[in-house]
């Protein structure tokens, strides 16, 4: 697969895996409104993932469509950011994971609107409005939990500390990123860091939460090397398609 | 050469055909907010006749993951084919669909139906008060948020701006 195809697949997989994680909340969220909210965010991300997967399949030229790519690849062939495969944990963990992701994705979509890949630019332009809405939701909850009770503050502060180490990968450039950026197709991840930091710092301040120090700790999910959690997620997500190949609604 | 190239490009349907198409599409309802037609929703991007004579309908998805998108496409094709048009649909992603594209007629219908149309402020569709509060960013479908009127105390749906 070309760096172009791999770059698009990374975006697709990141959306798909997070959509699946958020779907796990259906019927379990702390209130009906949040059940609907998380499912709606999941649907938006899944819709974007389908467009990106179909595009990646076309770039690959092997005839694999969105279903083959979503349901018939092994763990090491998924290229999502490691952050999004982390378990839901409690509601605070989910809010923090979502907030960090939304702040990153909004910046990425803003930049990708200028991609020379017209399909990718169109998906980014469409996704930008949705990402803006998602960030308002997750940021709103981060402030409510952080600037809430002593209990909610302490717990969400732990969520921030636990998930922060996964942000390093969001801004680490590798060969695929550099090739895609040089071709005018992708955006160099490191260039997204300043806007991300500004958004995150502003919301963390309102949430009365401190920004953790950066650690040398890094992850490589976008290169196919994942945490222990992705395999279980894929086993559940892919089981129906693998048991009943070609099944349709 | 120029004439040959021109023949490959889809052309606009004649005015009488276009009027008939609009008449058909005005009867195709949004599956989730049936008071709106697909024309009110602003998802029909173009109607053109291909060089092979087939009717091409350009459709834009509303929210990326809205399950209604595929239903809308199927309903549009079914209605056009039932009227004798050999119709094909193409997805139009750019520029992205926006709630700004809801027609004036659509906004009026939404309000009558009890859903506050998209805009800067969510005004209560029942009493018209602008003293309203958001109770949830998301509602029963991807296009709606939940609000409450602080004047008449009724809860209502607000069509999200995007």
Residues A43-91: tens digit of each pLDDT: 999 999 999 999 999 999 988 999 999 999 999 999 999 999 999 999 9
In a domain, B102, yes or no: no
What is the CB-side half-sphere exposure of residue B43 using CA atoms within 13 A? 27
B137 to chain A: which residues are within 8 Å by CB? 37, 133, 136-137, 140
B45 to chain A: which residues are within 8 Å by CB? none
Residues A212-241: tens digit of each pLDDT: 998 888 899 999 999 999 999 999 999 999
Q: In the prediction, which pLDDT does B7 show?
A: 54
* Chain B residue whose CA is closest to A42: B65
Prediction pTM value:
0.93
Q: Which residues of B touch A (CB under 8 A)?
A: 61, 63-67, 69, 93-98, 135-140, 142, 146, 160, 162
C-beta atoms of A126 and B97 within 8 A: yes
What is the band of B2 on the pLDDT scale with cuts at 50, 70, 90?
very low
B142 to chain A: which residues are within 8 Å by CB? 40, 43-44
Which candidate from A40, A45, A129 shows the least CB-CB separation from B138? A40
* Chain A residue whose CA is closest to B134: A33
Residues A93-125: tens digit of each pLDDT: 999 999 999 999 999 999 999 999 999 999 999
CATH of region A3-210+224-243: 1.20.1260.10
Can you give the CATH number for the domain in which B66 is found?
Answer: 3.30.300.130
Q: Tell me how crowded residue B73 is: count the other CB atoms within 10 A of its CB.
A: 18
> Rg for chain B (alpha carbons), in Å?
19
What residues does B121 pair with on adjacent strands?
none
C-beta atoms of A37 and B136 within 8 A: yes
Q: Where do the structural domains in chain A lie, given as residue ranges?
A: 3-210+224-243
Q: In the prediction, which pLDDT does B1 show?
A: 41
List, as one string, the DSSP characters of A40-72.
Answer: HHHHHHHHHHHHHHHHHHHHHTS---HHHHHHS
Q: In the prediction, which pLDDT does A140 show?
A: 97
Structural domains of chain B, count: 2
B115 three-class SS: strand
Domain with B61 in it: 2-97
Residues B34 and B75 reside in one and the same domain: yes
- B15 to chain A, minimum CA–CA distance in Å? 31
Residues B121 and B69 reside in one and the same domain: no
Residues B64 and B115 reside in one and the same domain: no
Least confident residue range of A46-50, A176-180, A243-247, B111-115: A243-247
In a domain, B106, yes or no: no
Residues B117 and B85 reside in one and the same domain: no
Q: What is the value of ipTM here, to two decimals?
A: 0.84
Residues B79 and B144 reside in one and the same domain: no
As a whole number of angstroms, the distance between CA B5 and CA A240 comes to 48
């Amino acid at each position: 697969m070309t760096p172009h195809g791999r770059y698009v697949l990374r975006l697709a997989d990141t959306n798909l895996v997070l959509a699946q994680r958020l779907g796990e909340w259906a019927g379990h969220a702390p209130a009906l409104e949040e059940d609907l909210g998380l499912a709606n965010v999941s649907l938006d991300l899944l819709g974007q993932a389908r467009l990106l997967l179909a595009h990646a399949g076309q770039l690959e030229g092997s005839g694999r469509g969105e279903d083959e790519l979503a349901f018939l690849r092994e763990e090491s062939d998924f290229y999502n950011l490691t952050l999004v495969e982390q378990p839901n944990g409690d509601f605070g963990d989910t809010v923090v994971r979502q907030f960090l992701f939304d702040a990153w994705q909004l910046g990425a979509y803003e930049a990708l609107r200028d991609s020379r890949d017209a399909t990718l630019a169109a998906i980014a332009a469409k996704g930008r409005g949705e990402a803006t809405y998602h960030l308002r939701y997750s940021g709103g909850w981060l402030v409510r939990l952080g600037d809430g009770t002593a209990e909610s503050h302490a717990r969400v502060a732990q969520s921030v500390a636990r998930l922060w180490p996964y942000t390093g990968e969001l801004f680490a450039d590798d060969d695929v990123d550099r090739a895609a950026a040089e071709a005018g197709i992708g955006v160099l991840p490191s260039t997204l860091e300043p806007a991300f930091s500004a958004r995150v710092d502003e919301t963390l301040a309102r949430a009365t939460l401190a920004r953790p120090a950066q650690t040398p700790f890094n992850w490589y999910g976008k290169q196919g090397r994942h945490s222990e959690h992705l395999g279980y997620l894929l086993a559940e997500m892919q089981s129906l398609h693998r048991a009943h190949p070609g099944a349709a609604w | 050469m120029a004439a040959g190239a021109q023949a490959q490009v889809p052309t606009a349907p004649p005015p009488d055909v276009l009027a008939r198409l609009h008449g058909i599409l005005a009867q195709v309802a949004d599956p989730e907010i049936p008071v709106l037609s697909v024309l009110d929703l602003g998802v029909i991007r173009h109607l053109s006749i291909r060089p092979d004579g087939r009717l091409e309908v350009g459709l834009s998805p509303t929210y990326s993951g809205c399950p209604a998108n595929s239903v809308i496409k199927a309903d549009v094709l079914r209605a056009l084919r039932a009227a004798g048009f050999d119709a094909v649909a193409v997805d139009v992603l750019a520029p992205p669909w926006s709630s700004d594209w809801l027609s004036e007629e659509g906004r009026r219908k939404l309000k009558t139906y009890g859903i506050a149309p998209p805009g800067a402020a969510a005004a209560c569709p029942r009493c018209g008060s602008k003293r309203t509060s958001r109770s949830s960013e998301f509602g029963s479908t991807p296009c709606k948020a939940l609000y409450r009127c602080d004047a008449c105390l009724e809860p209502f749906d607000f069509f999200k701006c995007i």
